[in-house]
């Protein structure tokens, strides 16, 4: 598989007001991603509320994306679950729909105690889709699985023939560089921290997965362009703009705010699933007024 170059949006899962999934919104999401020149979508991950969805719902969302994705909007399906049989079933379904890759977090209830246990779980999931590129999704802030990623990748490479790389959502430049350089650059490292994209590019990442790429990709794409011509100072100015936006989102919760912004961009993805709550009218108005001053978005706010 050709390596990614550019921005991969961690797509929201669209929902109706009653909390049921709304796959009919996916074509509108895809239109916005193409408008922003995103190169792929990462579905049913953290931003996609994958762990709050049933297996059947995750299959329906992946199906919806498979119908609108293509070579210009490549599809990565997150298949991680606490229940290994569900993870394997989702991996096999991803193969059936032609996803270009699968990804998997560590289980977050019965947690692996060491690297060998984590690699055993990842290997069992990956073997359900042995011809499909597999990315380990390392996000200890959500899973609370804090194991040395370099050792995980080294051991996993011995038993997982389809291990293609890692979605690196950790603030650890040293380990990220080691993963990028490991085995002569064998593995692709997808940078996973929107607020530190310049650092990821500086280390050697050529692609990134992030939630704010759903609706603010232009500022990050410009950042990539500036880094490519060697203007790191300009790129860091763009990064500072993005961080200003992210700081605003954090006041409301990035998931809650992100779904509100999608509606402001004309793609209503509905509320997040409980226990997360939708922004109320006052919060939504306040968020809109704060963000309108930043001029980072591809469309005028609705």
Strand partners, 137: 167
**38-69 pLDDT, tens digit each:** 999 999 999 999 999 999 999 999 999 999 99
pLDDT of residue 295: 82
**220-245 pLDDT, tens digit each:** 999 999 999 999 999 999 999 999 99
- Triad 79, 84, 88: Cα angle to 5°: 50
Fold of 6-216: TIM Barrel (3.20.20)
pLDDT of residue 70: 87
pTM of the model: 0.96
pLDDT of residue 287: 96
Question: Considering the chain, what percentage of its residues have pLDDT values greater than 70?
Answer: 100
pLDDT of residue 300: 85
Look at residues 208, 298, 218 and name the one whose alpha carbon lies nearest to residue 261: 298
Is 137 assigned a catalytic role?
Answer: yes
* DSSP state, residue 97: T
Choosing from 121, 135, 136, 137, the catalytic residue is 137
* Structural contact between residues 99 and 92, judged by C-beta atoms closer than 8 angstroms: no
CA 20 – CA 10 distance, rounded (Å): 20
Choosing from 136, 167, 215, 259, the catalytic residue is 167
Is 288 assigned a catalytic role?
Answer: no
Q: Which residues of the chain have pLDDT under 50?
A: none
| Extents of the domains making up the chain | 6-216
Structure tokens at 262: 């999608």
Which class for 287: exposed (0-12), middle (13-18), buried (19 or more C-beta within 10 A)?
Answer: buried
């Amino acid at each position: 598989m050709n390596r990614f170059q550019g921005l991969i949006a961690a797509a929201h899962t669209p929902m109706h007001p009653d909390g049921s999934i709304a796959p009919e919104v996916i074509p509108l999401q895809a239109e916005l991603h193409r408008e922003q020149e995103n190169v792929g979508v990462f579905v049913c991950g953290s931003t996609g509320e994958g762990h709050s969805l049933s297996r059947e719902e995750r299959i329906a969302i992946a199906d919806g994306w498979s119908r609108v994705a293509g070579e210009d909007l490549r599809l990565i399906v997150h298949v991680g679950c606490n229940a290994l049989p569900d993870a394997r079933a989702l991996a096999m379904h991803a193969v059936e729909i032609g996803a270009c890759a699968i990804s998997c977090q560590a289980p977050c209830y019965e947690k692996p105690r060491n690297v060998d246990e984590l690699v055993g779980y990842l290997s069992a999931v990956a073997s359900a889709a042995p011809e499909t590129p597999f990315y380990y999704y390392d996000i200890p802030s959500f899973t609370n699985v804090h194991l040395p990623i370099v050792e995980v990748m080294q051991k996993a490479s011995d038993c997982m023939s389809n291990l293609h790389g890692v979605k690196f959502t950790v603030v650890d430049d040293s380990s990220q560089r080691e993963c990028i350089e490991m085995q002569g650059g064998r593995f692709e490292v997808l940078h996973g921290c929107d607020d530190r994209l310049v650092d990821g590019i500086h280390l050697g990442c050529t692609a990134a997965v992030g939630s704010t790429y759903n609706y603010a990709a232009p500022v990050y794409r410009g950042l990539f362009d500036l880094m490519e011509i060697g203007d790191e100072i300009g790129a860091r100015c763009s990064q500072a703009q993005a961080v200003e936006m992210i700081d605003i989102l954090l006041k409301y919760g990035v998931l809650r705010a992100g779904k509100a912004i999608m509606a402001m961009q004309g793609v209503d993805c509905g509320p997040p699933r409980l226990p997360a709550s939708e922004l109320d009218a006052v919060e939504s108005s306040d968020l809109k007024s704060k963000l309108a001053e930043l001029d980072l978005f591809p469309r005028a706010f609705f």
